[in-house]
């Protein structure tokens, strides 16, 4: 008994549609997974690395921040980071700002190991969030 040609065509269409749907689902899944993997890397990229511009970068803010670091002016720095929900605004205070400036200057000199050591001592740059703001007062 011969199969009806119109049924074969319908079965073929369903197969093509199912294949297209699978490709769409796989493509969207890959994009979501890729975004979930890359987003934290993009966020972390500028933290602690003075050669990478952060999301709040502007020439004016950069110049003001540089002046605050050069003059070791905690109040000027604090005003610049006010509203920042990042860990640095929670951890750095007037008493440990000098160490923070030292870490910043070491990073600018390319001495990242030394800068990271100080940042860790301050409770910054800890991926798991440990440090618990123990230096913030």
- In this structure, the answer to whether residues 21 and 74 fall within a common structural domain is no
Dihedral over Cα of 115, 121, 122, 124: its sign: positive
Is 136 domain-assigned? no
Is 53 domain-assigned? no
Q: What is the pLDDT of residues 40-72, one digit of tens each?
A: 444 433 456 667 777 778 899 889 999 999 999
Is 111 domain-assigned? yes
- In this structure, the answer to whether residues 65 and 18 fall within a common structural domain is no
As a whole number, mean pLDDT of residues 94-112 equals: 93
- In this structure, the answer to whether residues 77 and 100 fall within a common structural domain is yes
100 class by beta-carbon count within 10 Å (0-12 exposed, 13-18 middle, 19+ buried) = buried
What's the whole-model pTM score?
Answer: 0.57
- In this structure, the answer to whether residues 69 and 37 fall within a common structural domain is no
Is 134 domain-assigned? no
The total number of structural domains in the chain stands at 2
- In this structure, the answer to whether residues 40 and 75 fall within a common structural domain is no
- In this structure, the answer to whether residues 70 and 112 fall within a common structural domain is yes
Is 50 domain-assigned? no
* Domain housing 23: 1-45
Cβ atoms 97, 103 nearer than 8 A: no
* For residue 89, pLDDT beyond 60: yes
């Amino acid at each position: 008994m011969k199969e009806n040609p119109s049924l074969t065509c319908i079965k073929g269409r369903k197969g093509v549609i199912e294949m297209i749907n699978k490709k769409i689902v796989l493509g969207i899944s890959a994009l979501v997974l890729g975004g979930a993997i890359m987003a934290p890397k993009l966020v972390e990229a500028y933290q602690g690395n003075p050669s990478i511009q952060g999301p709040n970068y502007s020439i004016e803010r950069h110049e003001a921040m540089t002046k605050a670091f050069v003059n070791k002016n905690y109040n000027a720095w604090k005003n610049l980071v006010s509203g920042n929900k990042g860990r640095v605004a929670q951890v750095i205070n007037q008493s440990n700002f000098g160490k923070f400036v030292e870490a910043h200057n070491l990073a600018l000199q390319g001495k990242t190991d030394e800068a990271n050591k100080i940042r860790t001592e301050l409770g910054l740059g800890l991926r798991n969030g440990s440090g618990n703001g123990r230096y913030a007062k």
